[in-house]
Structure 1
Amino acid sequence: MSRHDARIRWGILSTGHIASVLTRDLALLPDEAEVVAVGSRSLDKAQRFAAEHQIPRAYGSYAELAADPEVDVIYVASTHNDHLGSARLCLEAGKAVLVEKPLTVSATETEELIELAGEQGLFLMEALWSRTNPLLRQAAQIVQSGELGAIRHVNASFGFAFRGDESHRLLDPDQAGGAIFDLGVYPVHGVNLFLGEPSELYGFGTLAPTGVEAHAAALLTFAATESRPPATASIACSLEADLPFRLEVLCTDGSLRFDNFLLPSELTLTRGIGPDANKETLVTQWPGGGYTFEIGEVNRCLRAGELESPLVPWRDTLAVARTLDRWLLSIFPPLDPELVD
């Protein structure tokens, strides 16, 4: 699909908090995008959402939204356990899809969805907004240039002390709750951006009363490549403690650090080692909630007829899904070890 001269027409699937945030940011780009429809499993919720955001059409089912001929791309903002089914529904209806992170809840499901998008010739992207932020992209370019030397270690964490009810989706196993899918996906993507997929993963986690992981950490190792020696990374996520939203890339000739890599406004860049090191602070700004970069990338890809974004490519989404599988497996090992490949 290519719409060079017209605004990209968006549909919103589900009416939760994140759907509202992205819809408000879409409204900040009136020259390139418009929200024309919203779908929910409840017509009343869809109508209330439509009234709040001035959306012309509201549907009481996801299928009706997917069938709307005036929709170019659908943002799937439902709970994790629903991502595969709803995204498949939209792709089979001929719609491009942006799916809230994680794309699905397993590498197998992720591969299935990517294959379907390829077969249908339709755009698909995991909504990992941090990877579209200009400052994080600039950091990746700096490291890739080699000016900081070889990467030796990456450290990334994201956590907060959740005090809500056990019935909340964050702690509900039926909705694929837990710290890793909601929070850990960000550190894994952060590490992936700089080092790719790990060779080995050694994980640890503790469980909430509902049985989902409430706190998790892992050490990742990376084999040497033609461009760098072996490297390591440490990641952590938590629903029990306020962990820093930090990403650090430590290299042989310098380092860089984000104190909030989810929505980075500042990057501390250190060139050199020891007392002679030179520190520089790079800054950026964003409109609204910070989702305009992600929205703009989707719009660009659709106008260019691209099936995947180079900023969040399918190979990285699939690599992250495999890493999340391994992290979860380190916390929830199978009863029968022979079931592990």
Structure 2
Amino acid sequence: MRHDGGVTEPDAPTTGWGILSTGHIASVLAKDLALLPDEATLVAVGSRSADKAAAFAAEYGVRRSHGSYEELAADPDVDVVYVASPHNDHFPSAKLCLEGGQAVLVEKPLTVAPAQAEELLALAQERGLFVMEAMWTRTHPLIRHAAELVASGELGDVRHVDAQFGFAFDGPDSHRLLDPAQAGGAILDAGVYPVHAVNLFLGEPEDVLGYGTAASTGVDDHAAALLTYPATSDRPAATASVLCTLRAGLPNRLAVYCTKGRVMFDDFYLRPAELTVWRDGTDAPEELLASWPGGGYTFEAQEVMRCLRAGEVESPLVPWADTLAVSRTLSRWQDAVGAPARTGA
């Protein structure tokens, strides 16, 4: 059942999904959608290769395959398209789908440059169509609980947030992570997670002081930054530190330090199962547990479908303003470490 203007009929039994591209991340979402048979139907997959699309459809039980992105964007039974192509393709493919009347969930980062993000969201606003950056961590119940707890003021004012994500990559220079033509680099691929995490608790920084190194291909392969936040009428001045790398395994920790306590995640990116809350004056922390079904994308997919049923063009969990703020911060971080210019910057 096709929606019009970003609205899915409230009595629709399931949401029809299309997947654009057939790489690893597309397969993870396909598997997770299969865990939601009462809510989601994987209607179509699109690839620039008809053979790859057909093979993906056969493997994951997709109803039909398309040998071009244009055909997928025009499929009348698709309610939302998951754009799972490499970073450099997010903007043109998401734009293609929006112009075809399709709602889109776009793999992070939404685009490789702020100007592209602004154009894409302006088009969605004009067409009344749903768009969400696929920042799956922001839809996880534990991370949402941590954000609500900190926002309540129960732990006092936020003074510092520390977030990191990194791994040791030993693949070839032609891999998308190191290929400048595919918008490779640590900041866009890994850094988007800690910046989004910091944004959730502090918003957009005033200053971005960044440092880093470059791979032989010229893209950033290791980067750190200090983000600063001036005092406002609602809170004191605060700072944040972010780290991303393709050269070393990191604990991928997220910690929020407040004046009356702190919240901490280990492996906040890798499907966090535990949130630790320390309150000043207590001898032991509070530990909250949760589980991730499948590959971890079910919460994200359910939020997309909830928004479509409600006729919402953006999710309050991953709002457009935050996606734009993160895009600007990533761009400033890249500039600070001397990363190559991005098309559309």
TM above 0.5, yes or no, is yes
Contact 1:123 1:306 in 2 (8 A): yes
In the other structure, the counterpart of 1:159 is: 166
Contact 2:178 2:184 in 1 (8 A): yes
Shift of 1:183: 0.2
Counterparts of residues 168-317 of structure 1 (less than 5 Å): 168-262=175-269, 263-272=271-280, 276-317=282-323
Contact 1:154 1:247 in 2 (8 A): yes
Contact 2:220 2:339 in 1 (8 A): no
Q: Provide the rounded CA distance (Å) in 2 between the counterparts of 1:2 and 1:68.
A: 15
Q: Please, which runs of 5 or more residues in structure 1 have no aligned partner?
A: 336-341
Shift of 1:2: 2.1
Pairing partner for 1:50 from 54, 57, 63: 57
Q: Provide the rounded CA distance (Å) in 2 between the counterparts of 1:161 and 1:200.
A: 29
Q: Deviations over 1:30-55 (max 9, x none)?
A: 00110100000000000000000011
User: Structure 1 residues 156, 334: CA separation in 2 closer, same or farther (over 3 Å shift)?
Assistant: closer
Contact 2:218 2:339 in 1 (8 A): no
Shift of 1:286: 2.0
Q: Provide the rounded CA distance (Å) in 1 between the counterparts of 2:328 and 2:207.
A: 12
Q: Provide the rounded CA distance (Å) in 2 between the counterparts of 1:109 and 1:314.
A: 13
In the other structure, the counterpart of 2:9 is: 3
Equivalent pairs counted in the alignment come to 334
In the other structure, the counterpart of 1:61 is: 68
Q: Provide the rounded CA distance (Å) in 2 between the counterparts of 1:101 and 1:231.
A: 26
| RMSD of aligned Cα (Å) | 1.3
Moved over 4 A (4+): none
Counterparts of residues 10-89 of structure 1 (less than 5 Å): 10-89=17-96
Contact 1:16 1:78 in 2 (8 A): yes
In the other structure, the counterpart of 1:124 is: 131
Deviates more, 1:326-335 or 1:260-269: 326-335
Q: Provide the rounded CA distance (Å) in 2 between the counterparts of 1:243 and 1:323.
A: 22
Contact 2:207 2:228 in 1 (8 A): yes
Q: Please, which runs of 5 or more residues in structure 2 have no aligned partner?
A: 1-6
Q: Provide the rounded CA distance (Å) in 1 between the counterparts of 2:77 and 2:224.
A: 44
Shift of 1:277: 4.3
Report the residue type matching 1:235 in the other structure: V
- Identity, % of aligned positions: 66
Q: Provide the rounded CA distance (Å) in 1 between the counterparts of 2:131 and 2:112.
A: 16
User: Structure 1 residues 96, 333: CA separation in 2 closer, same or farther (over 3 Å shift)?
Assistant: closer
Q: Provide the rounded CA distance (Å) in 1 between the counterparts of 2:11 and 2:291.
A: 28
Q: Provide the rounded CA distance (Å) in 2 between the counterparts of 1:150 and 1:277.
A: 21
Q: Provide the rounded CA distance (Å) in 2 between the counterparts of 1:256 and 1:44.
A: 48
Contact 1:272 1:278 in 2 (8 A): no
Report the residue type matching 1:28 in the other structure: L
Q: Provide the rounded CA distance (Å) in 2 between the counterparts of 1:78 and 1:10.
A: 16
Contact 2:180 2:340 in 1 (8 A): no
Report SS of the residue matched to 1:171. Answer: coil
Report SS of the residue matched to 1:130. Answer: helix
Report the residue type matching 1:261 in the other structure: F
TM-score (norm 1): 0.96
Shift of 1:331: 1.2
Report SS of the residue matched to 1:282. Answer: strand
